[in-house]
Amino acid sequence: MDATLLLFVGLLMAFLNRTGAQTGVCYGMNGNNLPSPQEVVDLYKSRNIRRMRLYYPNQAALQALNGSNIELILGVPNDALQAIANSTSTANDWVQTNVVAYSSTVKFWYIAVGNEVSPVNGNSEYVNYVLTAMKNIHSAISAAGLQITVTTAVETGLLGTSYPPSQGAFRSDVSSYIDPIISFLSGNGAPLLANVYPYFSYEDNTGSISLSYALFTSTSVVVTDQYSNLGYKNLFDAMVDALYSALDKAGGSSVGIVVSETGWPTAGGTSTTAANAETYNNNLIQHVKNGTPKRPKAIETYLFAMFDENRKSPEAEKHWGLFTADKQPKYEIDFSSSVPTNSTPSVADKPYCLNYYITLHFPSPL
């Protein structure tokens, strides 16, 4: 076997190995009573949670992840975007300090440059920095000889049309912001991270959205998309497919979606019980293995969040944890079954370089 073919086989095996766990958990730290990062990493491992989203480069958490084999989304926080966008040396320093220093022992999966930045949601002061920061971080990652996908996380409020799902489209007043980001992602084979919360849609529309549709418990089609003839039994699928349709319309048909946050709170709001949270999250873990009606393939997904965070507000924001601050589960949740049933490699799957590698080095069928 020549060296080129051996490298291809290695990439393929890495891909197959990394389709094993579809659901990770977000590790938020906005609490004053949380366990140490090492205890948190140990809890991830003991509960078979193999992917983590970390919102900023907490050094103790990165050190605790050493050798853990947990795949990590590492965030560049919004308040760092301006400096990184305005200075390539700042971007290089950020990557050297927070990525390169740990890259031999921490499995970096994505770098998420900014979270829910939007021209219309109250943090518009960061809008002008996201894309340039993404480019600078991408260049710094490449210069360091690493292959880590650079992306950003958005909220579904960027959609102007979301119903029916096939008519999903981004708001006209965000197109100048999101379209260049989509072009960057498409050009680099990267997915868009999306924070998708059926809970909030349900809470705002209890008169028209049933609880069973929000919790994955409907046994029959609730919504039929008259334009696509696709049937929807749950709100999560409808929201994700609306995002896919919006990407299509914005020239991003090759851009995949990673659900970087979703979940259900246990107190402080409408239908916020531990039983409902247990139902939503366990059903979600099973459901994302098979994708949506529009894209019936496994969806990489991250539950929000590992712990209740007592420094958040309003009240419902404090109660999204799978675990209490003393590491006790608030309900039973099983990550051992978080394995896709249809993980056939495709252009939108990870690693994103695989299809490009096959085309470049193996132009004829294998």
Which are the contacts of 214, defined by CB distance < 8 A and separation ≥ 6? Answer: 198, 199, 201, 202, 234, 235, 280
Q: How distant, in Å, are the alpha carbons of 76, 205, 211, 270, 300 from that of 200?
A: 25, 8, 12, 9, 21
Active-site residue flag, 261: yes
Across 181-211, b (16+ Cβ under 10 Å) vs e yields: bbebbbebbbbbbbbbbbbbbbbeeeeebee
243, 178 contact by CB (below 8 A): no
CA pair distance 130, 223, nearest whole angstrom: 36
Residue 259 sits at the vertex; the CA angle it makes with 255 and 265, to the nearest 5 degrees, is: 160
CA pair distance 99, 74, nearest whole angstrom: 9
CA pair distance 209, 198, nearest whole angstrom: 10
Active-site residue flag, 116: yes
Of the residues 261, 278, 300, 309, only one is catalytic, namely 261
What are the backbone angles phi and psi of residue 66, rounded to the nearest 5°? Answer: -55, 120
Of the residues 39, 71, 116, 278, only one is catalytic, namely 116
For 338, other C-beta atoms within 10 Å of its C-beta total: 22
Which are the contacts of 352, defined by CB distance < 8 A and separation ≥ 6? Answer: 149, 188, 189, 190, 191
**Could you give the residue numbers annotated as active site?**
116, 261
